[in-house]
Amino acid sequence: MSEIVSSDRVEDIVGATRHETEHIGRAVSTDQMVYILHSVECKAWSSDLRECPFSRALDNGVDIREWTLDAATLLAVHDGHLSPKGDR
């Protein structure tokens, strides 16, 4: 299950500020973890961000071959898994 990371810490880890509607993530090579910076809209929607569809997709796993490591990227959910946002 996804772990909650404090707002200040996750912004520092992801290297971005919270977007109004987009989720931003970062696959950190040294931690071997993917972090999600939830949108402002998402934070307003739920007090438990583990219930967010993006968190649930992260729980289902990622295909690390899709990711640029150590770089902030917009996120999407494809086939129940978390992935970088792109044209599909």
**pTM of the predicted model, to two decimals?**
0.91
Q: How far apart are CA 17 and CA 39, in angstroms?
A: 9
Quick one: pLDDT band at residue 4, thresholds 50, 70, 90?
A: confident
Asked if 63 and 54 count as a contact pair (C-beta separation under 8 A), the reply is: no
Quick one: pLDDT band at residue 1, thresholds 50, 70, 90?
A: low
Quick one: pLDDT band at residue 3, thresholds 50, 70, 90?
A: confident
| pLDDT tens, residue by residue, 46-79 | 888 999 999 999 999 999 999 999 999 999 999 9
β-sheet bridge partners, residue 84: 75
Asked if 83 and 23 count as a contact pair (C-beta separation under 8 A), the reply is: no
Q: Mean of the pLDDT values across residues 33-47?
A: 93
